[in-house]
Structure 1
Amino acid sequence: MNQCKKVNNLKIRRALLGDISQMVHVEKESGAVFSAMPVEFLSCLPENLPLHSKEFYEQAVRNNGAWLAELDSKIVGFICLENIEEESSIHISEFAVDYNYQRKGIGNQLLSFVINFAQNESKDITLTTFSNVPWNANYYRNCGFITLNVNDLNDRLKSLIKNEVETGLPEQYRCAMKLTV
């Protein structure tokens, strides 16, 4: 994993219920980076990219599966995880860094934190993402994740991608990835 950039005063901590409105804000702000994508791709996306509900974040916080990146007491990124006991894995259900703080190493530090956590728990990591967006699938590949072939998807990952497509995300650009630890 690329550890070149490191924000020395970044604090990673568990999210609290009182942090949810800031997490929603960060998720909204993180999407600004999509404006750099080609028009052909953008025209395949819903007019408003689907965002997670406050209930989604409440569940993540209550399950101790939400971690924040704070810089000078400001939440600038977060990652939400689901523990998938039957697969002995952790699923990254949301990962966002505020657009104004992207490309500074914050995402690397959050992902490194999760990878270390997974290694300590002897659990693999899964996620779904855009296959054609450079800061999505390519980024994860550089961190050791592999793209799973459609035939290799288990029922949970198939269902996740199906739900994403139903919310308006283009199926041809969705993929599931896995990091075996």
Structure 2
Amino acid sequence: MAGVLIRLAQPAELPYLQEIEVASGEPFTDVGMPEIAADAPMSLEALAEHEVWVAVGGSGVPVAFIAVGPVDDATHIHQVSVHPSCARQGIGAALIEHVTPADRAVTLTTFRDVPWNAPYYERLGFRTVTEPSPGLAELMREEASRGLDPATRVAMVLLPAHERP
């Protein structure tokens, strides 16, 4: 991850972040989920509503981003995307670590069986949520209403450091 700087996204960068999200979705085709690869990225309005951090390479251009916001008493990751040309370099993990508060949990929803989704987050210390909070449950209902099969999805939490086993 050498040479990558994490900073708040600039408004003018938001359209480029959509391009990163589209590119990072392409590998879903290889695991039999072409509909996910073809899914539209977060809207500019949705990106603007969240706290968005970017990882910027040596060229000064973002190569990855994370969009977070509060859900119940947690920091929720609404989207994390790394451009495939920069994948497997620890950039996604660095973004997650950057937005992880010391005193509050971090949550996300993801695909249960896609290798770079739930299994990846488990390696970072996230655990499956058995009883989602009201806000997290609502997010999962919204995902289902947009066509994401609830049987393929999972909510996960990274507890604050002082609460981890």
The alignment's TM-score, normalised by the length of structure 2, stands at 0.90
Q: Distance in 2 between matches of 1:34 and 1:123?
A: 31
Q: Distance in 1 between matches of 2:26 and 2:39?
A: 11
Q: 1:46 to 1:22 in 2, by over 3 A?
A: closer
Match status 1:129 vs 2:114: no
User: Which residue pairs with 1:99 in the alignment?
Assistant: 84
The alignment's TM-score, normalised by the length of structure 1, stands at 0.82
Which 4+ residue blocks in structure 1 deviate beyond 6 angstroms?
Answer: none
Q: Distance in 2 between matches of 1:101 and 1:135?
A: 14
Q: Distance in 2 between matches of 1:47 and 1:77?
A: 17
**Partner secondary structure for residue 56 of structure 2:** strand
Match status 1:110 vs 2:104: no
Match of 1:76 among 42, 46, 63: 63
Match of 1:164 among 143, 152, 158: 143
Q: Distance in 1 between matches of 2:94 and 2:111?
A: 21
Q: Distance in 2 between matches of 1:147 and 1:102?
A: 24
Q: Distance in 2 between matches of 1:58 and 1:113?
A: 19
The structure with higher relative contact order (CA 8 Å, sep 6+) is 1
- % identical equivalent positions: 30
Is the Cα–Cα contact under 8 Å of residues 46 and 168 in structure 1 kept in the other structure?
Answer: no
Q: Which has the higher helix share?
A: 1
Consecutive unaligned residues of structure 2, counting only runs of 5 or more, are: 161-165
Count of residues in Structure 1 that have an aligned counterpart in Structure 2: 159
Q: 1:102 to 1:161 in 2, by over 3 A?
A: same
Query: 1:137 offset after TM fit, Å?
Result: 0.4
Match of 2:42 among 35, 41, 52: 52
User: Which residue pairs with 1:175 in the alignment?
Assistant: 154
**Partner secondary structure for residue 116 of structure 2:** helix
**Partner secondary structure for residue 178 of structure 1:** strand
**Partner secondary structure for residue 135 of structure 1:** coil
The Cα offsets for residues 135-165 of structure 1, whole Å up to 9 and x where unpaired, read as 110111111111012xx11221111111111
Indicate the RMSD between aligned Cα atoms, in angstroms: 1.6
Q: Distance in 1 between matches of 2:29 and 2:83?
A: 14
Is the Cα–Cα contact under 8 Å of residues 15 and 66 in structure 1 kept in the other structure?
Answer: yes
Is the Cα–Cα contact under 8 Å of residues 50 and 167 in structure 1 kept in the other structure?
Answer: no
Q: Distance in 1 between matches of 2:91 and 2:159?
A: 23
Consecutive unaligned residues of structure 1, counting only runs of 5 or more, are: 1-6
